[in-house]
């Protein structure tokens, strides 16, 4: 309640800080590289199974902050998974995308089966005026569409990053966006727990400024590496669990 009151009282300052931050923050491009591809596993212990993988979301899902898709989330995950599986990968992501934007984008993609979906969405929702409740409804609609239209077997929803530690954000804007991001993440966790095959992936590694991109807002190589490592571990655990059941 106190935070809400403070945010209301400081809203003119927060709006000005938001406009100024957008103006002065370095605009980094999406890294070069293919947006889809196939990797065949050469390991003799390969499962001989082809995994169809999508990475969907915003600028972080698109790899902003590194120079090549090989160092970005999709490239790192697909290469890691290819040690045991054939991988048919694609990323559907764009800088500034909100959850609403992704829903619109998916409406133009034909229905097809997808094994894995890794989702990074929420930062642009947090910086917008959308309420947590409205965002959660859109997030649930996204999950339902991925399951119904694309038969997604495993959906990994990454939590929002700790925006309260972003170097690019001035105080008190940093504090309030950090609080809002934490609230969105908690709501996302509760949503994921209601769906089988939907996993919430928390951002629980330390966020060091030197590991971020030069704009102080996007991940750098080390953060992408750690993120991809945790996603891959989660996928392999789920695949092993399903194999044990069968």
**Structure confidence at residue 16 (pLDDT):** 82
Q: Is pTM, for the whole model, over 0.85?
A: yes
User: Does the residue 3 lie in any domain?
Assistant: no
User: Does the residue 171 lie in any domain?
Assistant: yes
* C-alpha atoms less than 13 angstroms from C-alpha of 41 in its C-beta half-sphere: 19
User: Does the residue 1 lie in any domain?
Assistant: no
User: Does the residue 4 lie in any domain?
Assistant: no
**Structure confidence at residue 25 (pLDDT):** 84
Chain mean pLDDT for the chain: 91
User: Does the residue 8 lie in any domain?
Assistant: no
If residue 100 lies in a helix (H) or strand (E), which one and from where to where?
A: helix 99-106
Q: pLDDT tens-digit profile of 141-171?
A: 999 999 999 999 999 999 999 999 999 999 9
DSSP 31: P
Of residues 22 and 81, more confidence is placed in 81
**Structure confidence at residue 15 (pLDDT):** 76
pLDDT at 240 over 80: no
User: Does the residue 41 lie in any domain?
Assistant: no
Check which CATH number belongs to the domain holding 197 and give it: 3.40.50.1110
| Overall domain count for the chain | 1
pLDDT at 218 over 70: yes
Which pLDDT band holds residue 88 (cuts at 50, 70, 90)? very high
Q: Give the pair of three-digit tokens for residue 13.
A: 């300052």
For 91, residues 6+ apart whose C-beta sits below 8 A from its C-beta are 35, 36, 54, 55, 56, 61, 62, 63, 69, 73, 74
- 215: helix, coil or strand? coil
Task: Provide the domain limits for residue 172.
Answer: 49-91+99-245
Task: Report the C-alpha gap between 172 and 88 in whole angstroms.
Answer: 44
Task: Report the C-alpha gap between 97 and 30 in whole angstroms.
Answer: 13
User: Does the residue 9 lie in any domain?
Assistant: no
Bridge partners, 172 (sequence order) = none
**Structure confidence at residue 68 (pLDDT):** 95
User: Does the residue 205 lie in any domain?
Assistant: yes
Of residues 163 and 7, more confidence is placed in 163
Least confident of 7-11, 44-48, 77-81, 182-186: 7-11
């Amino acid at each position: 309640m106190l935070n809400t009151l403070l945010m209301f009282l400081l809203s003119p300052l927060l709006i000005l800080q938001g406009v100024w931050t957008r103006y002065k923050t370095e605009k980094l491009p999406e890294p070069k590289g293919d947006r889809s591809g196939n990797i065949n596993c050469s390991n003799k212990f390969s499962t001989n199974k082809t995994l169809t993988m999508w990475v969907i979301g915003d600028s972080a899902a698109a790899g902003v902050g590194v120079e090549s898709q090989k160092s970005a989330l999709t490239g790192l995950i697909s290469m890691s998974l290819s040690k045991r599986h054939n991988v048919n990968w694609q990323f559907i992501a764009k800088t500034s995308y909100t959850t609403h934007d992704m829903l619109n984008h998916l409406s133009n993609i034909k229905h097809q089966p997808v094994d894995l979906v890794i989702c990074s969405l929420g930062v642009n929702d947090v910086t917008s005026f959308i309420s947590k409740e409205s965002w959660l409804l859109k997030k649930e609609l996204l999950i339902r569409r991925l399951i119904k239209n694309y038969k997604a077997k495993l959906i990994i929803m990454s939590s929002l990053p700790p925006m309260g530690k972003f170097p690019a954000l001035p105080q008190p804007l940093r504090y309030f966006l950090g609080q809002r991001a934490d609230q969105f993440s908690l709501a996302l966790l509760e949503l994921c727990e209601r769906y089988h095959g939907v996993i919430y992936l928390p951002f629980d590694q330390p966020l060091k400024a030197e590991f971020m991109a030069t704009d102080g807002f996007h991940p750098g190589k080390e953060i992408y590496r750690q993120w991809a490592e945790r996603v891959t571990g989660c996928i392999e655990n789920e695949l092993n669990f399903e194999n044990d059941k069968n």
